[in-house]
Structure 1
Amino acid sequence: MQVKRLRLLCLPCAGASATMYLRWKRHLPAWIEIYPVELPGRGERLGEPLIDDFETLVVRLCEEQATRMRGDFALFGHSMGALLAYGMAARLRDVGRPQPHMLFVSGSAAPSMRDPERLAGLDNDRALIADLRQQGGTPQEVFESPELLRLTLDVLAADYRLCRRFRYRGRAPLAHPLHVLAGRDDDIDSTRLEAWQQMAGGAFSLSWFEGGHFFIRQQQAQVLATIERALGRRLEEVSHAAPAAC
């Protein structure tokens, strides 16, 4: 029976808040402690300014989450959150901080293979609303409420600016396993997903799920089962690799 606990920090996708991961707490075993990470300017941090610069946000998150990113922990991010999770893991490595046991990246092309045209023209309300509807995953009540829609569009616009400003800088591979999760009907082809392997210093794996960009909601049970199995195996590896006490 698994008894060792592990903290899983979860980064949201563009336009979303930490609440997208709250239900995971009810469906994962107690040894996986879910910590949804709230980004500035949304959710519980609505009064704070939005940050639309990638490096600035990564540095801020590493500082804010420092106490949680010690001991046994892992990172998970979906879409923009995957990019942020990768950025955090790379920064932790670069500044000599403790490393996650595993990095999960979901619904995102590798940083070196991002499509520069994906967000072209998404800089006005009409285009952003059309993109939200195309991607799916946004509750209908958001579109029916002018206040909620305004908040969502402001956050999404800032997040898309952050993604457009991201520039990949070749870095050494990370020193831990990397697990990619992808939807079969998403518009990210396998080549751009498999390119994540270049960033993995440890084991690399790619899991496919039925559904589009928001397969993590459509196939929640299968996604969580995959995460649980991967983390369970990883903790066993870490435990066996640890030096025996004298």
Structure 2
Amino acid sequence: MTAANTISPWLPYGRSGTGTRLYCFPHAGASAAVYANWRDAAGDDLVVCPVQLPGRAARGREAAHHDARKLVNDVLSGLGSEFTGDYAIFGHSVGALTAYLVTRKIVEQGGRPPRHLFVSGRAAPHLPSTRRELRALPVDDLVVELRALGGFPDVLQRDRALLEMFLPLLRADLSVNETYRHVPGPPLPIPLTVFGGHGDPRADDAELAAWRELSADSALFTYPGGHFYLEKRAPELLGVIRERLTVKV
């Protein structure tokens, strides 16, 4: 983007403001709208920039990615010019994996890394997966798994036709998450903060803590509320994010 308030497909809310830019990647099946309310709660020193990935909202006619590395390459192709100056990156669930891989690719390419990486609601990417994979489950089985996670919209449970329209995007995002195979690399040269919810069936406390192996400067914060704990804790999380942004490399 050439102007602070320009709207682009990747940044539907723009990025007006002068504080640290926080680029936020959503969970599986979600759009940039899940972070819309963060913008008003962030304060003047933090500019929340929800990222709109292909396959959702106004980008619904674009093909959603099924592969993590292709997704990262697309993000860097579309948003690479944004990743400079005073910025940080956040991601929840599969968004945490995307945020980590984008950050790692920036570092590997010799770009300017974010001031801080914030990840939430996902097991550390270098751990082997031990859970039932979701991406190819029959619809009814998949719905049971999603309801157990919480945060599954009631309207999708009531409207089968709408659910069927939603599933290809969800399955694509789940594929990004479940087909990723970790390649070891050096620790990130930036601070890392991990967030999670107690009782998350997809990321227990030990799996969250394992993220700390990926940066020499890290911290872990957990809250009641399971996988979607953050839906009711935006102001609290943003407060921690602002505090952690004061950490120096």
TM-score, structure 2 length as denominator? 0.87
2:53 equivalent among 35, 39, 43: 39
- 1:134 aligns to 2:148 (yes or no): yes
How big is the shift at 1:196?
Answer: 0.9
1:193 corresponds to: 208
CA contact (8 A) 1:77 1:84 kept: yes
- What are the Cα deviations for residues 38-95 of structure 1, in whole angstroms up to 9, with x where unaligned? 1111112101011101100011101211122110100000000000000000100111
Assess if the C-alpha contact under 8 Å between 1:123 and 1:157 holds in 2.
no
- Where in structure 1 are there 5+ consecutive unaligned residues? 239-246
Looking at structure 2, the residues matched to 71 and 121 of structure 1 have their Cα atoms a distance apart, in angstroms, of 37
Q: What residue number does 2:125 align with?
A: 111
Q: Using the alignment, how far apart are the partners of 2:94 and 2:240 within structure 1? A: 21
| SS of match in other structure, 1:71 | coil
Relative to 1, partners in 2 of residues 1:40 and 1:135: Cα closer, same or farther, differing over 3 Å?
same
- Once the two structures are superposed, residues 140-182 of structure 1 have per-residue CA deviations (whole angstroms, 9 ceiling, x without a partner) of 1232234432232111111112222100000111110000001
Separation in structure 2 between the aligned mates of residue 46 and residue 98 of structure 1, nearest angstrom: 31
Which secondary structure does the structure 2 equivalent of 1:151 belong to? helix
* CA distance in 2 between partners of 1:48 and 1:98 (Å): 29
Report what 2:38 is aligned to: 24
1:132 and 1:209, CA in 2 relative to 1: closer, same or farther beyond 3 A?
Answer: same
Q: Hey, what does 1:48 align to over in structure 2?
A: 62
Listed as ranges, the gaps of 5+ residues in structure 2 are: 1-16
Which position in structure 1 is the counterpart of 2:81? 67
Aligned identity (percent) is: 34
Q: Measure, in 2, the Cα distance between the counterparts of 1:45 and 1:229.
A: 34
Structure 2 residue identity aligned to 1:83: L
Q: Give the alignment's Cα RMSD to 1 decimal.
A: 1.8
CA distance in 2: counterparts of 1:121 and 1:103, whole angstroms = 27
Q: Which of 78, 81, 96 is residue 82 of structure 1 equivalent to?
A: 96
- Structure 2 distance, partners of 1:41, 1:121, is 16
1:216 matched to 2:230: yes
CA contact (8 A) 1:211 1:219 kept: no
Matched, 1:229 2:243: yes
